[in-house]
Amino acid sequence: MASKYSISIVHPSFELLKNASRLLHFMAAAFFAINAVHQLSAHEGSKLVCYTQLIIAVDILVLVFFGAGILTEKPKAAVLFRLIESLTFIGIWLTLTNENHPWLGAVHAILGAVYFFICYREWRISVSEAIEIKPSGVTVPNFIANADIRWLHIKKVVADYNSIIIETVRDKKVEFRLRNNLKIEELEQINDFCRERAMLIV
């Protein structure tokens, strides 16, 4: 019997982020294009910076409208584009601040921070979107930070072919749908492992 199990799940928050991915890319591209066109029309700032923003915006729009499959099939590619977007927002913030537009700069700084956080979470999703069952407890992925629940606080863990339920001693219950159905052997091993850990605590 293994000492650790990792079960891929369908997390509602992560699915919401995945579904919003194209919209977030589109919004970033729109911000870059509007900022670049405004700076060019106002004759402010470096034309090189403006044209660079327009090129980035076009690249992202091509990804949104013609590369939707890449966003789902290769999540790390989406993470790379999100990182470029966050760094571009930070670059615009520095440019606007240098050109004495602190309020507009602050807006882009906030957008940069938000997009960087989304980039971090998308990277975490691409690395692992799974519940981990260990001798010390159960790790549940979450949007802000993963939750480590020790066996001392777990009443029971019940795995089914296509779902898993975790119930705590405070009668809090969480249920996730599995991304892939478990085989009979896997199901028996996981449930036996969970029962043994729960009995050891008791």
The pLDDT of residue 126: 73
Structure confidence at residue 47 (pLDDT):
76
CA separation for the pair 36, 44 (Å, rounded) = 10
DSSP string for 107-135: HHHHHHHHHHHHHHHHHHHHH--EEEEET
The residues spanned by each domain of the chain are 11-127, 129-201
- Domain 129-201: top CATH class: mainly beta
CB 159 within 8 A of CB 182: yes
Q: Which residues of the chain have pLDDT under 50?
A: none
Burial annotation 101-128 (CB, 10 A radius, 16+ → b, else e): beebbebbbebbeebbebbebbbbbeee
The first and second tokens of residue 154, run together, are: 């777990």
CA distance 190 to 110: 44
| Assigned token pair, 74 | 């290769």
β-sheet bridge partners, residue 132: 6, 139
158, β-bridge pairs: 165
Using H for helix, E for strand and C for coil, what is the string for 21-81? HHHHHHHHHHHHHHHHHHHHHCCCCCHHHHHHHHHHHHHHHHHHHHCHHHHHHCHHHHHHH
pLDDT of amino acid 115: 92
Q: What is the pLDDT of residue 70?
A: 66
**C-alpha triplet 86, 104, 121: angle, nearest 5°:** 25
Q: Is 152 helix (H, G, I), strand (E, B) or coil?
A: helix
Is pTM beyond 0.75? Reply is no
pLDDT 10s digits, 29-61: 998 998 888 877 776 666 777 888 888 898 888
Sign of CA dihedral 176, 179, 184, 186: negative
- The reported pLDDT for the residue numbered 196 is 83
